Amino acid sequence: MPLEKATALVIRNTDWSETSRISTLWTRELGKVRCLAKGGRRLKSNFESALDLLTACSIVLLRKTSGSLDLLTEAQVLERFTQLRNDLSALYAAYYVAELLGDWTEDYDPHPALFDEALATLRTLGQPGVACGPRLARFELVLLRELGYAPALAQCASCERPVAGSSPPGHGLAFSAAGGGVICSACQGQHGDRRPLTHEAWQALQTLNEAGDGWKSIEDPAVRATVRQVLNDYVTYSMGRRPRLLPYLGS
């Protein structure tokens, strides 16, 4: 049974016994792992307070090959996102990150880029002057891309013509979760679940989909609200169920 070292984010904890717990960790190197942390509920253990929810930590675990839970042998805090404890909307947004990572990814399916984006999101949420909605939307689009569900934004999801080529560019558009992205005006009749998409909201989705800090420039409340609705629809459709945290999120 090999010992593995990894950088992890704690996304769920379940009490196992009076002193032990089962922790679900999203690691950069191994993807999602579920580990038994013996003594993990004790104040004095090898894990100290590293197994609190949404704590980034370095871990050592013993991989089990028989299908039983891996055994966590060490965990040390790397980063704690303390600002989440002072901002309820940021805390709920962070819970949503944990829910998406925990419920929408497979065990041992690593996505280093998604791990880095998750940590970057948690670092930013709750910081002074940062709006949770656009930051979370940026994370969702990275997650969707990493998992192979990226919505079509530059071209019509139905006819595949570039929507920037429409006249005027980006106008008369809609978004269909079932259709897989933006729908041009000519194809909208085929998509009963379509939601009208303003030119500004379409541009915002394009900006959010690009690397960098473009999400900070999305300030219009109406655009943020549309982006939130579109992503709520799309994540719910792609995931196959409505995420538990969606009702708690603002735009």
Partner 1 sequence: MPTAILPMDAAPVGAIARLMHELGKLPGIGPKSAERLTHYLLASDVEQVHALADALHAIKDKVHPCRQCFNLTEGDLCKLCADPRRDASTLCVVEQPRDLASIERAGSFRGLYHVLGGRLAPLENVGPENLTIDALLRRVHQGGVKEVIMATNPTLEGDGTALYLSNLLADSGVKITRLARGVPSGSVLEFANNQMLADALEGRRAF
Binding site for partner 1 (CB under 8 A): 12, 17-18, 48-49, 52-55, 77, 80, 84-88, 91-92, 95, 98-99, 102, 244-245, 248
CA distances from 99 to 31, 109, 189 (A): 15, 16, 34
> Is the Cβ of residue 87 or residue 200 nearer to partner 1 in the bound state?
87
> Is the Cβ of residue 29 or residue 52 nearer to partner 1 in the bound state?
52
Rg of the chain, C-alpha, whole Å: 20
Tell me the closest approach of the beta carbon of residue 194 to partner 1, in angstroms: 30
Closest CA to 75 of 51, 61, 53, 59: 59
Buried b vs exposed e over 152-174: b needs ≥16 C-beta within 10 Å?
bbebbbbeeeebeebeeebebbb
Tell me the closest approach of the beta carbon of residue 219 to partner 1, in angstroms: 25
> Is the Cβ of residue 36 or residue 187 nearer to partner 1 in the bound state?
36
Compute the residue count for the chain.
251
> Is the Cβ of residue 42 or residue 195 nearer to partner 1 in the bound state?
42
Tell me the closest approach of the beta carbon of residue 20 to partner 1, in angstroms: 10
> Is the Cβ of residue 85 or residue 161 nearer to partner 1 in the bound state?
85
SS3 203: helix
From first CA to last CA, the distance across the chain in angstroms is 46
Tell me the closest approach of the beta carbon of residue 93 to partner 1, in angstroms: 11
Tell me the closest approach of the beta carbon of residue 81 to partner 1, in angstroms: 9
Q: How far apart are CA 9 and CA 32, in angstroms?
A: 9
